[in-house]
Amino acid sequence: MEFFIFRKLVITLEVSFIFVVLPLFLALACRGAVCVPRDALQAAVDVGLLPFALAFRDAAIVLHTIVLSAAVKDGFHGPSPHSRDARLAGGSGPGSHVLDREVLELVDNAGILLGAVQQALQLRPDELAEAQQRPRAIYCCICGGPFLEPSARDDESKDWLTRAVVLTTGNDTPDAAGVKLDTFRSHPSVQHPVLHPEHAQRYVLQLPSEYHERNGFPIVPSGENAIAMDIGMAGGHLYFPVHELCSQLAQRFMDNRTVSRDTFQTQPQEAISSVKQLWEVLLHRMTGSESQYILPEPHDYYGGSGCRNVYWELDDGEPEYGELLEAAPMEMANLTEGILQDLQPEASERPKEIGTTEDEIAYGQDWWCESLAKQQRLPWLWDLDSELVREKQRNGNWDWELLVRKLSKPEIHEPSDTTLNLPVGLRNRRRIWRCLEEARVGDTNP
């Protein structure tokens, strides 16, 4: 009887340890990490808790061994010592008895969870050293592309991946001393962080920065380190990092909207038209209050998920998308010349495309040429050289309608699309523009 009490005590300790202590540790260590073993380990390294994790793992192994040993010594016999039915029935030797079914089920579940914890925290020494030396990646809240440290980029074409703008919000102080940053806290009934307290007059601040390792974005010129997408358990300032070029692209998208509403509120299914509404989209995509490395996006940013791991891995799974997401979406040389290479001579007769209206059929090639030159249908081509386009029209008979219709297809950003020979940077611009076109407040809610 005394040994039975001892065994149940050990089982209780093990179950409490497995289901309380370890989940609590992993919840802290894996803040914002995707729930796979290597991400859990890297998160533990990032917050300096790896030694505690390994100690917890070793203690859990000892406790689990004690439980199984106690069960065997206490009379588990039968056709198979590993048979769950045999253990529930008990043994036939001296001192054997039927174990409590609920306790055994807890032991079974604890063993399964322990195996998962061991897998998450057990790496070879060389893998551990690599994890400790290599900073985890963090991704832009607009385009889903990576941020790179200035020392990590291997050529100047990737310099844009180091430059950041950090979005946060503030309010006027009563003494007119300036703007005070807002404080956000988690709320049990709301998925995303909430403002505490509410303020009537608020602003979205766009602070220039440059990415540094460990989720750090030093603000220029103050040098204050902004920790992205993390308000902690007690609440704090909330920062969303975006690439500088993505911020400029978003501003162009919002400026192009026919109706601009400088408010945090949006109508149902309304596209964003101000930086305040962009903030609301990002805020509602953040799940919880703890550190995240990428915000969810309803279309997974139209590619690159295979590269967005604990580290940015260009050649892992989707190398063509990795190249796409690293291509600068602005400041492209010979942009107009590249687009005009896809211009074809006008055919004597071309079949009517699906969706073509009778009015559009009546339009001549001059009209289609002007619609391209004035960016009427393609606002993401704002830097097209209009004079070069018109000069091309004067020197031949070209099928401008076909070119405009091809450029109007939203999927031309896909690396697999062969309808046009667009520069990869322009494809990336169209991808980001599409993410902005379809961004809605609450678009990632279940």
pLDDT (tens digit, 9 = 90+) per residue, 245-262?
999 999 999 998 876 667
**Residue 142: exposure state from Cβ atoms within 10 A (0-12, 13-18, ≥19):** buried
If one compares 281 and 69, the residue with the highest pLDDT of the two is 281
Angle subtended by helix axes 365-373 and 400-408, to nearest 10: 40
**Most trustworthy range by pLDDT among 17-31, 45-59, 157-171:** 157-171
Q: What is the structure's pLDDT at 371?
A: 92
Mean pLDDT score of the chain, rounded to an integer? 75
Other CB atoms within 10 Å distance of the CB of residue 422: 21
Q: What is the structure's pLDDT at 126?
A: 62
Q: What is the structure's pLDDT at 358?
A: 47
- Does residue 9 surpass a pLDDT of 90? no
- Does residue 417 surpass a pLDDT of 80? yes
Q: What is the structure's pLDDT at 187?
A: 76
Distance CA 309, CA 286 (A): 18
Distance CA 30, CA 151 (A): 27
E strands, 13-53, are none
If one compares 395 and 376, the residue with the highest pLDDT of the two is 395
- Each residue of 260-278: pLDDT tens digit? 667 776 677 788 999 999 9
